[in-house]
Amino acid sequence: MAFLQNSALPAVDLDETSYKHQVVALSGDWTINTIENAEQVLEDLTIGTDRMTCIDLSGIKHLDTSGAWIVHRLRGTLEYDGRRVELSGMDENRYRLFCELEHHHPPRWKPEKNKYSIVRFLDHVGRQAEQVWLDALAMLHIMGSLGVVFATVLLHPRRLRGISVAVQFDRSCIGAVPIIALMSFLIGAIISQQGGFYLRQFGAEIYVVDLAGILLLREISVILTAIMVAGRSGSAFTAEIGAMKMREEIDALHVMGLSVTEVLVLPRILALMISLPILTFVSDIAGLAGSGLVVWIYLDISPQAFLTLLREAIDMQTLMVGLLKAPFMALIVGLIACVEGLKVEGSSESLGRHTTMSVVKAIFLVIVVDGLFAIFFASIGV
């Protein structure tokens, strides 16, 4: 502020005495600190169009890039209106400054043309296919590294970071129990209500118990839990590892000779593979509780009758089919989350994009893996 107070305010003097040209004499300080005053002075300036205009800079005491841009803009505006303009009163330094400004015009904005083109479409498909291939290679790479690290941990159990596994288990499992239980309770209730509504028309509402029990234990609970874990824990893993990548903490681990897979990836995937079967079992219980409550209220089937019919409809094999899928889905979610986290670059936009891609890819592959398991169990008659 002291500099601004000691600065001479910019001023403009228009001399129109000559019939050949008119002189716009600039004086004072044309710097970033006085730029607002300079723009106000130029707004009040009225210049005729009948003669050549000469902008005299000899009276300017201090001139920086901001002030030079204002003068340059004044010259461009006058020339655009059809006037002939020249600059005078410049020393060598100011001449070089204005020459630099001449070569730094921003390019004109051109609207992007999005005409349909078969070549552009094929190019887009090819790039997407290449990206899918690179993602598959990255997953195979980290899976191989994970296998090597896991074998090392089995031979040297002290290398396993138990505290890290426990912390990740607390975040991905214990913290997720309320939301998993609530969502499964509501899904079980909705399945029973909708099933009872349609089966009642045929007098077969008693089969709602079979429908809800088999559907929840074999498919719905494990898929719902895996999707919730992908959106909750998978995105958190990607964000954590991505933030470490942005702060160059991953590079620091390499410099210290530590394995990123052993320090960051293995504890998270182990915790997730332990958590998902437990959360799936919680989801089974909550879904059956919601189903039992609805059939009791909506179909007048007592809890005792519900449990009796449920025991006849399902067995331990039905329960184990759903629980068997959980570790594989947890492995898929954990691998994708860690791969996307390691792909983050040095910007928040990259972090957000890869976190979103982590959730989308994990949910997609969870559904694909569930379909493969359905085909497998159908082929072996389970």
Q: Which domains does the chain have, with CATH numbers?
A: 2-102 (3.30.750.24), 149-379 (no CATH)
How many Å apart are CA 148 and CA 76, to the nearest integer?
Answer: 66
Which residues fall within 8 angstroms of residue 236, CB to CB, at 6 or more apart?
A: 171, 172
How many Å apart are CA 337 and CA 357, to the nearest integer?
Answer: 9
DSSP state of 60: E
Which residues fall within 8 angstroms of residue 235, CB to CB, at 6 or more apart?
A: 337, 355, 358, 359
pLDDT value for 52: 81
How many Å apart are CA 88 and CA 11, to the nearest integer?
Answer: 16
Which residues fall within 8 angstroms of residue 28, CB to CB, at 6 or more apart?
A: 7, 8, 9, 10, 11, 34, 59, 60, 61
Tens place of pLDDT for every residue, the chain, 382 residues?
433 444 578 888 887 777 677 888 888 888 888 888 888 888 877 776 667 888 888 888 888 888 888 888 888 887 777 778 888 888 888 888 888 877 776 666 666 666 667 887 888 888 888 888 888 888 888 888 888 888 888 888 888 888 888 988 888 888 889 999 999 999 999 998 888 888 888 888 888 888 888 888 888 899 999 999 998 888 898 998 888 888 888 888 888 888 888 888 888 999 999 999 999 999 999 999 999 999 898 888 888 888 888 888 888 888 888 899 999 999 999 999 988 888 888 778 888 888 999 899 999 999 999 999 888 888 888 7
pLDDT value for 3: 39
Helical ranges in the chain per DSSP H: 2-6, 35-43, 65-80, 92-102, 118-155, 162-172, 177-199, 208-215, 221-229, 235-246, 249-255, 260, 266-298, 303-313, 316-342, 348-379
pLDDT value for 19: 64
Q: Distance of alpha carbon 155 from its chain centroid, rounded?
A: 38
pLDDT value for 105: 64
In terms of residues, how long is the chain?
382
CB 267 within 8 A of CB 161: yes
DSSP three-state, residue 122: helix
pLDDT value for 115: 64
Query: What would the two tokens of residue 29 be?
Result: 């300080």
Query: What would the two tokens of residue 36 be?
Result: 């607002």
Q: Distance of alpha carbon 138 from its chain centroid, rounded?
A: 19
* Burial (CB count within 10 angstroms: exposed 0-12, middle 13-18, buried 19+), residue 277: buried
State pTM to two decimals. Answer: 0.66
φ/ψ of 161, rounded to 5, equals -85, 85
Q: How far is CA 148 from CA 88, 142, 160, in A?
A: 74, 10, 13
For Cα atoms 104, 114, 123, give the angle at the middle one, nearest 5 degrees: 100
How many Å apart are CA 205 and CA 196, to the nearest integer?
Answer: 5
How many Å apart are CA 217 and CA 339, to the nearest integer?
Answer: 30
**Across the beta sheet with 11-15, what order do the strands follow?**
11-15, 21-30, 52-63, 85-88
How many Å apart are CA 283 and CA 177, to the nearest integer?
Answer: 9
In order, the DSSP letters of 228-257 are HHIIIIIHHHHHHHHHHHHTTHHHHHHHTT
- The residue type at 156: H
